[in-house]
Amino acid sequence: MSTKTVPLFLQEAMSHPQARVCAACEVRRTALFGALDLASLERIHAHIGSPSLPAEAVLYGRGRQGDAVYTIRSGIVRFERVSESGERRIVRVAGRGDLIGQEALLGRRYMDDAVACTPVEVCRIPATLVDHLGEAEAALLRELMRRWHQALEEAEAWSADLSTGPARRRMLKLLAVLVRHADEHGMIWLPRRDQIGDMLGIALETASRLVSQLKRDGVLELLPASRARLDPDRLDAALDEAS
Amino acid sequence: MSTKTVPLFLQEAMSHPQARVCAACEVRRTALFGALDLASLERIHAHIGSPSLPAEAVLYGRGRQGDAVYTIRSGIVRFERVSESGERRIVRVAGRGDLIGQEALLGRRYMDDAVACTPVEVCRIPATLVDHLGEAEAALLRELMRRWHQALEEAEAWSADLSTGPARRRMLKLLAVLVRHADEHGMIWLPRRDQIGDMLGIALETASRLVSQLKRDGVLELLPASRARLDPDRLDAALDEAS
DNA sequence: CGAGCCGTTGAGGGGATTCAAGCTCAGTGG
DNA sequence: CCACTGAGCTTGAATCCCCTCAACGGCTCG
């Protein structure tokens, strides 16, 4: 499917099997450790785990002392907060190639609940590991800041786009976000109705009505297992006329 | 008002007058360059400007190539976005001691319009300057990431707290944010009604009604020049019963 | 003094919420 | 095998909160 990014002879040179896996990893080019050269990779390989989680699994909880950062290899993760008043709000989502839980690198507590939306594969990178690298690898730090920037951009765009205007337009913009995380078959993950509600700040019934309406309009086609296919042209058209 | 943080003899040792100003700066302890030692300060002094801006001045515009970061010495700055549909949304605010425009360090475009809410004093720090320091000063990079973390936290909290629930509760939570930026006299900056609207995602008339109501309830006391005093106890009480 | 901006308040309508009922579907156990 | 159950989704009806439209008052400024 994708060509290897590392020449064969270099792979041979690596003693540890995990190092080979990392070197060949498809998300590596876009992931945090894409900034590292192969030598560095070799040095740290032993510490990196690559767990898989089922949908709805909690990666980490808000307030917990951060001990690791994660690179998402596949799947979608959402960030939740619960207000003092007890309502849940989903503040953003992350997908393949994204780095999450960066606050662990600062020895801080996690900011949000991170929950798997779909089955998720991640690389787990202990926070201390990056500490030790930090002194030497300036490129890594730069890449790290780029990630931080990206997260902030995402969070601000989320709040600007998804929590303003009539419910239908918010729903359409949410779909526009979700297509960015479409899988290889062009199918998107469609949240449960109450989750859509928590993303857009609307009632779950309203979310349901909107989904039904978009289904009738031919924008959205519902499939089993929280999946859906959507018509890009009709989505654009709908977004336009929602001005 | 505040005691000097730098012994006199050290100030004497500094050749450049700007270096003295920086060393004595009251926000320095909490600002980005608090992480730098005096020697570093001495080295970079020449490049730092400290302009003042009137209220409503635009510090930088979204999309512009970033060329400098700013530390806010006094005043309040808001971050705006305009959606494709033409509506303005204020995604967060920053105050004294905050670092803004960090994306410039990555050679990126500014994410938002940054606009002065009150008269504002800043330190302007060229992006290249930090580049040159970057290799040597690990402490600075760590501090930088802490700022990034803080901005993200702010943005997420903003969207979680201020764009959900009934309008009155959002208004109260906005006031809770604004008291954090209160001046030395305990007075807060109260946005114009349309700005409140853009912060909370409500109509300006609704914002006006809420302000009037809070005034009647004794929570808020309006003063000239977009200033206000608020009763902390009554604010808490109001927040409680808004559950 | 008229023009324009900002804020306030009222009236009316509409979109979203709330309350409620019914539907599908998967899992469970008689 | 099938009733039973509960979770998730849909749809309807009534209510209400907020938006829109509108008029008006205070203030500054040319």
pLDDT of residue A144: 79
Percent of chain B with pLDDT over 70: 77
Rounded Cα distance, A16 and A14, in Å = 6
Q: What is the mean pLDDT of chain A?
A: 82
Q: Do B165 and A141 touch (CB under 8 A)?
A: no
Q: Which chain B positions have a beta carbon within 8 Å of A91's beta carbon?
A: 156, 159-160
The answer to whether residue A152 neighbours chain B at the CB level (below 8 Å) is yes
| Global model pTM greater than 0.95 | no
The answer to whether residue B80 neighbours chain A at the CB level (below 8 Å) is no
Q: Do A144 and B145 touch (CB under 8 A)?
A: yes
pLDDT of residue A202: 96
The answer to whether residue B241 neighbours chain A at the CB level (below 8 Å) is no
Smallest Cβ distance to A165: which of B87, B144, B159? B87
Residue-wise pLDDT for A144-173, tens only, equals 788 888 888 888 888 989 999 999 999 999
Q: Which chain A positions have a beta carbon within 8 Å of B145's beta carbon?
A: 102, 105-106, 141, 144-145, 148
pLDDT of residue B3: 38
Give the residue from A164, A71, A128 showing the smallest Cα distance to B81: A164
Q: Do B159 and A158 touch (CB under 8 A)?
A: yes
Q: Is the pLDDT of residue A236 over 90?
A: yes
- Secondary-structure breakdown of chain A: helix, strand, coil percentages, each rounded to the nearest 5: 45, 20, 35
Rounded Cα distance, B183 and B237, in Å = 23
Q: Tell me the mean pLDDT in the region B15-21.
A: 61
Residue-wise pLDDT for B203-233, tens only, equals 999 999 999 999 999 999 999 888 999 999 9
* Cβ atoms A125, A69 nearer than 8 A: yes
pLDDT of residue B198: 94
Residue-wise pLDDT for B121-163, tens only, equals 898 888 887 677 655 566 677 777 888 888 888 888 889 899 9
Residue-wise pLDDT for B57-77, tens only, equals 999 999 999 999 898 888 889
B220 touches strand C (CB under 7 A): no
Q: Do B89 and A164 touch (CB under 8 A)?
A: yes
> How far, in whole angstroms, is CA B15 from its chain's centroid?
31
Q: What is the DSSP string of A46-92?
A: GG-B--EE-TT-EEE-TTSBP-EEEEEEES-EEEEEE-TTS-EEEEE
Specify which residues A121 forms β-bridges with: A52, A74
